[in-house]
């Protein structure tokens, strides 16, 4: 029989892989009772690793930057290349924290007369050696992802206005809601999307059909969604009705 600690590690891994889990699903896969799973989830929540939700649990912590950087790297490069087609010199752009936006940053290194604002330490370090004018957002640094979040970051950024912005996401659920495990990130991302004349969500296929604790916005709230995800015909029809523009790579 599996030890409790081993079982809880498996549960945590499943939540990190899928964004969320259901009690019934876990009970079947791990061959234990629903009550045992609920006790495991209560322990993981007490440890601050997950957040309980109706019938299951969702991820509460961000995936480490090093893990993100190697995950679906080829898809991220393709998405970044497509995103770069929309960027012109002489503009002011915001690059959200994330490994896909890091790939976008690689394409603008030689631009002149361009201003870039970011809340990502890795993006800022990359662009430090570029020709662009660079601003970095201050505030609390989430060490696992290398991004600035929280009250001071939100306060600093509220007076900026951008020609365009490129945003990442941790999860997009079946209703096409954009979600994140971190409440501070949700506020900042939602605010900054409204401060861009054009806003683009840049997300690879792995981010779809996942759950997160905090709602940011919807796909239709962006100028365009650049992705390699393949939508069903029924989903395409629904997204068109909602006004979402999907840009497929």
Domain spans, the chain: 4-59, 66-248
Mean pLDDT for all residues in the chain: 90
User: Residue 217, SS3?
Assistant: strand
| Residue 96: CA count within 13 A, CB half-sphere | 26
Predicted local confidence at residue 3, as pLDDT: 80
* pLDDT tens sequence across 101-118: 999 999 999 998 999 999
| Spatial distance between the Cα atoms of 157 and 148, rounded to a whole number of angstroms | 11
pTM over 0.85: no
> If pLDDT is split at 50, 70 and 90, which confidence band does 71 have?
low
CATH number of 4-59: 1.10.10.10
CATH number of 66-248: 3.40.50.1360
36-40, 42-46, 68-72, 230-234: which has the minimum mean pLDDT? 68-72
* pLDDT tens sequence across 185-209: 899 999 999 999 999 999 999 899 8
Strands, E, within the chain: which ranges?
20-22, 50-53, 56-59, 92-95, 115-118, 133-136, 140-142, 147-149, 162-167, 171-172, 177-180, 196-203, 214-218, 224-227, 246-248
* pLDDT tens sequence across 145-165: 889 998 999 999 999 999 999
| 70 backbone dihedrals φ, ψ, rounded to 5° | -100, -10
72 by Cβ neighbours in 10 Å (0-12 / 13-18 / 19+) ranks as: middle
Predicted local confidence at residue 1, as pLDDT: 64
């Amino acid at each position: 029989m599996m030890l409790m600690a081993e079982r809880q590690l498996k549960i945590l891994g499943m939540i990190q892989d899928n964004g969320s889990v259901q009690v019934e699903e876990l009970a079947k896969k791990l061959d234990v009772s629903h009550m045992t799973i609920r006790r495991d989830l209560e322990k993981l929540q007490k440890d601050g690793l997950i957040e309980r939700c109706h019938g299951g649990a969702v991820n509460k912590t961000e995936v480490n930057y090093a893990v993100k950087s190697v995950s679906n790297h080829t898809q991220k490069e393709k998405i970044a290349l497509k995103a770069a087609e929309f960027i012109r010199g002489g503009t002011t752009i915001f690059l959200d924290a994330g490994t896909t936006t890091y790939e976008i940053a690689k394409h603008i290194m030689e631009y002149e007369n361009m201003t870039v604002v970011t809340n990502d330490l890795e993006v800022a370090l990359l662009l430090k050696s570029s020709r662009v004018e660079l601003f970095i957002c201050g505030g609390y640094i989430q060490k696992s992802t290398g991004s600035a979040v929280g009250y001071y970051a939100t306060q600093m950024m509220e007076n900026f206005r951008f020609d365009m912005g490129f945003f990442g996401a941790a999860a997009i659920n079946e209703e096409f809601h954009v979600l994140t495990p971190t409440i501070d990130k949700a506020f900042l991302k939602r605010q900054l999307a409204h401060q861009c004349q054009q806003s683009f969500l840049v997300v690879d296929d792995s981010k779809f059909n996942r759950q997160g604790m905090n709602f940011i916005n919807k796909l239709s709230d962006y100028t365009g969604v650049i992705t390699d995800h393949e939508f069903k015909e029924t989903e395409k029809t629904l997204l068109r009705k909602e006004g979402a523009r999907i840009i497929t790579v």
